[in-house]
Amino acid sequence: MLAVEIEHLNVYIRHAHILKNVTLRIPKNTVFVIMGPSGSGKTTLLKVINRLIDFTEGVRVEGVVRVLDIDALKADPYELRKRIGMVFQTPNPFPHLTIYENVAIAAKLNGVARSKRELDEIVRWALEKAMLWDEVKHRLHAYPHQLSGGQRQRLCLARALAMKPEILLLDEPTANIDPINARKLEEAIVSLKDEVTVVMVTHSPHQAARVADYIAVLYDGRVVEQGPAQQLFLRPSTEITQKLLRGEM
Amino acid sequence: MRLSKKDKLFLLSLLPLATSVLALLILIIFAILLRSLQAINKFGLELLVSSVWSPEQEIYGVLAPLIGSLATSVIATLTALILSIPLAIAASEYLKGFIKNVFSSLIELAGGMPTIIYAVWASEYLVPFLKTYVMEPLHRLLPFIPLFSCKPITGFSIFAAGVAIGISVVPYVTALILESYNSIPAMYKEACYGIGAYRHEAVSILLSLSRPAIVASLLLGFARALGETTIAVTTVGSSMYLSSCLFAPGYTVAALIATQFANANLYMYAESVLYTAALIVTVIATILSFYGSVIMVRWRSRIVV
């Protein structure tokens, strides 16, 4: 069963060829990690999956992108995004909403909760899943600026989970947070795969080793290698992958 | 950063002109204050609690114009709020390319139009329109509400002046709202779409995020409406009678000064009374502008992580 199936994907932004003939298969209920040096097109690839790429000016997308058995490039992007949560590189909780409201708003927008009680339960479940509940349960009505960077990022994870997505896109979620918070986030990610398919972008081979079931290596807009994580770590078949795994890139 | 010798010289050459503008502003306020003292000493608080303009008898009271200024500015601010937010949302979220440019140019053009154009248009077309389609129906339907209790006689009233001034400050308020809406970091827009929001839902989240900036824009708009003169003169009805009804003619401080200043020097205190009224409006407008700017700066620092 595939969550995402991409064939011969080409993305151009203005005149730059960002993604070049990308073909990928992301199985359901796995943690699929996309690795590559900065500027290799990782974020663009994620944004094609949930069509956030539509907001980029001068973009042209060609190829086949099937997400949850839907032709993602032809589907209504708003309906599509209701099934896909996303966490960004920089924590971006809404500063004018409380911790509770930040999580609840995602559930409300997607009609996940029918009553206040259900909403409370979902908020608690999402915060627990994001391993943040114990730290904020007594201050749910505080504002995000009172949290640390790492806590804010886990709040964003909770917000994405509260919409009960089938796919979760994570764009270098630990890039801007401290190692302890990064570990908590990784633990949360691994525990999630029974419920969602996680597609995560990272440039850290160590992180990939800790969380990935599958890995694709992206370099200069092309997929240079993809497969089960163990196999890729034990027998990397390209020089680019070897360099990337050694942290030389 | 250390300045080079040439930069220091250049800065020194700029300083006299740059500081002279600020000095002029302070001098203006000082002059207004100085010229008000005569009336303040003579009449004291009496000026603020009565509504009379009788220079021949040297009896004055500017309560009606003061209330008129505040009331027209409140109506103007509400009008600007109702018209500016849809305009700002349409311009920044829904219009694209050429149409967006035309739309933005039109807003700028409207902002740069001399107020005398608005004033003439308002007295010829807007006032009769409001009288027939807004004031009279409201008076017929809700005569028991004091604000609507009087029958609009000519249409020239606090209400009409407020709406007309409101329309004239729409471009200014829209520009302020647009500026703050567009300065919301892209990451919050992405956050909205990243959790499955439809476009109108994203707009509503981003609007609530920019609520303090909208309030600040309205405060600045209020301050500008307080000082609007030409439109007030042609639409407010110029009456010193203080009424609780919005459809009755009234006065604003700016209109009072514009219509009375030329002959005020013929009397002992008239000029000084006008300066006192101007001083009060200047103080209110300065406080509101300052407070609006503070809210805006605080908001900006909060949304940028």
Q: CA-to-CA distance for B81 and B172, rounded, in angstroms?
A: 11
Residue B201 lies in a domain: yes
Q: What is the pLDDT of residues B231-243, one digit of tens each?
A: 999 999 999 999 9
Q: What is the pLDDT of residues A30-59, one digit of tens each?
A: 999 999 988 899 999 999 999 999 999 899
Pairing relation of β-strands A16-27 and A2-13? antiparallel
Domain ranges of chain A: 1-83+166-249, 94-164
What pLDDT is recorded for position A54? 94
CB hemisphere CA count around B253 (13 angstroms):
28
Give B44: exposed, middle or buried? Use CB within 10 Å, 0-12, 13-18, 19+.
Answer: exposed
Residue B245 lies in a domain: yes
Residue B31 lies in a domain: no
In contact, B268 and B59? CB cutoff 8 Å? no
Query: Between chains, do B187 and A92 touch, taking CB under 8 Å as contact?
Result: yes
Report the gap between the CA of B212 and the closest CA in chain A (Å).
Answer: 10
Q: Which of B283, B282, B257, B284 is nearest to B272 (CA)?
A: B257
**A6 Ramachandran zone, left/alpha/beta (phi>0; psi -120 to 50):** beta
Q: What is the pLDDT of residues A154-206, one digit of tens each?
A: 999 999 999 999 999 999 999 888 888 888 889 989 999 888 999 999 988 88
Q: Chain B 199-238, CB below 8 Å of chain A: which residues? A: 199, 201, 205, 208-209, 211
Strand partners, A67: A4, A70
CATH of domain A1-83+166-249: 3.40.50.300
A157, closest residue in chain B (CA to CA): B195
Q: CA-to-CA distance for B79 and B75, rounded, in angstroms?
A: 6
Looking at residue A31, its amino acid is V
Query: Between chains, do A96 and B201 touch, taking CB under 8 Å as contact?
Result: no
Q: Decide if B242 touches A, using CB distance below 8 A.
A: no
Query: Between chains, do B303 and A95 touch, taking CB under 8 Å as contact?
Result: yes
Interface test with A, best of B92, B181, B183, B195 (most A CBs within 10 A): B195
Q: Decide if B195 touches A, using CB distance below 8 A.
A: yes
Work out how many domains chain B is built from and give that number. 1
Q: Which of A83, A96, A109 is the closest to B201 by Cβ?
A: A109
A114 SS3 class: coil
ipTM: 0.91
* Average pLDDT value for residue range B191-215: 94
A75 contacts on B by Cβ (under 8 Å): none
Q: What is the pLDDT of residues A76-120, one digit of tens each?
A: 999 999 999 999 999 999 999 999 999 999 999 999 888 999 999
Residue B189 lies in a domain: yes
Residue B274 lies in a domain: no
Query: Between chains, do A109 and B303 touch, taking CB under 8 Å as contact?
Result: no
The A-side interface with B (CB below 8 A) comprises: 50, 52, 55, 78, 81-88, 90-96, 105-106, 109-110, 145, 156, 159-160, 162-163, 165, 169
Q: Return the CATH number at B147.
A: 1.10.3720.10
Position A213 confidence tier, pLDDT thresholds 50, 70, 90: very high
Give A138: exposed, middle or buried? Use CB within 10 Å, 0-12, 13-18, 19+.
Answer: exposed
CA dihedral B262, B265, B270, B276 (to 10 degrees): 80
Residue B172 lies in a domain: yes
- Residue B101, token pair as written in the block: 């440019």
